[in-house]
C-alpha cells in the first residue's frame, strides 16, 4: 500500500522520485533540518550532503525556504495518501482509527520520520503565506483523523471529545520517535494495539 501510494504520487508529479536529484535533496534536507534545525542549516550544508555545488541547488529551488516548504508539502501529500488508502479499506470507525494510528506510527518511526519531525518543529520558519498553504494541506490530513474519531464517538465507544483526543494522540504518537526502537521486541503492530488499549478500543 505504501509503495503504491508513493508510485502514484510520483507518477502524478505530486511527490519527487526519491532516486531523482530533487528527491535526494529533499531527503537530505529533511535530515539536516531535523538534526541541525532549519535556521542553522546552510545552503552549503545541503549541497555538501548531496555532493553538489551550492549553486546547483538553485536549479531545483529558488530559496532555502522553498526547500523547507517542499519537504513539508511532499510529506503531507504522501502520508495523507497512505492514510486515505488505509481508511478506504475499512468500514468500521474503530478499524479506521486503528489504521490511522498504524499509519502515523509508521510515518513517525519509518522512512518519513525526519520529515514528520520537520513538520512538527519547523513550520513556524515558513513565511505567513507558505505557512497558510501548508496548514490548508494539514487540514485534509487532520480531517481524516477527526472523521474517524467522530465515528467512534457516535458509536458510543469514545468518551473524550474527538478534537481533544486527536491533540492527545498527536503528542503521544509523535513522541514515540524518542523511545521506540524498530529493531526491538515490540513491532509497530504491537504498539498500535497498545494505543488502542489506551483508548479502551482494543
Quote the pLDDT of residue 13. 58
pTM of the model: 0.86
Which tens digits make up the pLDDT trace of 174-199? Answer: 999 999 999 999 999 999 999 999 99
Q: What does the radius of gyration of the chain's CA atoms come to, in whole angstroms?
A: 18
Which parts of 13-92 fold into alpha helices (H)?
A: 21-36, 43-50, 64-89
What separation in angstroms does the CA of 200 have from each of 101, 156, 157, 185, 186? 14, 12, 8, 23, 20
List of domains in the chain: 2-198 (1.10.357.10)
Amino acid at each position: 500500500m505504501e509503495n503504491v501510494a508513493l508510485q502514484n504520487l510520483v507518477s502524478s508529479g505530486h511527490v519527487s522520485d526519491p532516486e531523482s536529484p530533487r528527491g535526494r535533496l529533499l531527503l537530505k534536507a529533511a535530515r539536516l533540518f531535523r538534526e541541525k534545525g532549519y535556521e542553522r542549516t546552510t545552503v552549503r550544508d545541503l549541497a555538501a550532503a548531496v555532493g553538489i555545488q551550492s549553486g546547483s541547488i538553485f536549479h531545483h529551488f529558488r530559496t532555502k525556504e522553498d526547500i523547507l516548504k517542499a519537504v513539508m508539502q511532499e510529506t503531507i501529500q504522501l502520508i495523507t495518501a497512505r492514510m486515505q488508502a488505509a481508511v478506504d479499506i475499512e468500514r468500521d470507525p474503530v478499524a479506521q482509527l486503528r489504521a490511522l494510528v498504524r499509519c502515523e506510527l509508521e510515518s513517525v518511526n519509518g522512512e518519513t520520520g525526519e520529515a514528520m519531525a520537520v513538520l512538527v518543529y519547523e513550520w513556524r520558519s515558513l513565511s505567513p503565506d507558505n505557512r497558510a498553504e501548508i496548514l490548508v494541506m494539514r487540514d485534509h490530513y487532520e480531517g481524516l483523523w477527526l472523521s474517524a474519531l467522530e465515528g467512534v464517538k457516535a458509536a458510543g465507544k469514545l468518551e473524550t471529545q474527538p478534537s481533544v483526543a486527536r491533540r492527545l494522540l498527536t503528542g503521544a504518537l509523535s513522541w514515540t520517535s524518542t523511545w521506540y526502537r524498530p529493531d526491538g521486541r515490540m513491532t509497530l503492530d504491537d504498539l498500535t494495539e497498545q494505543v488502542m488499549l489506551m483508548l479502551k478500543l482494543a
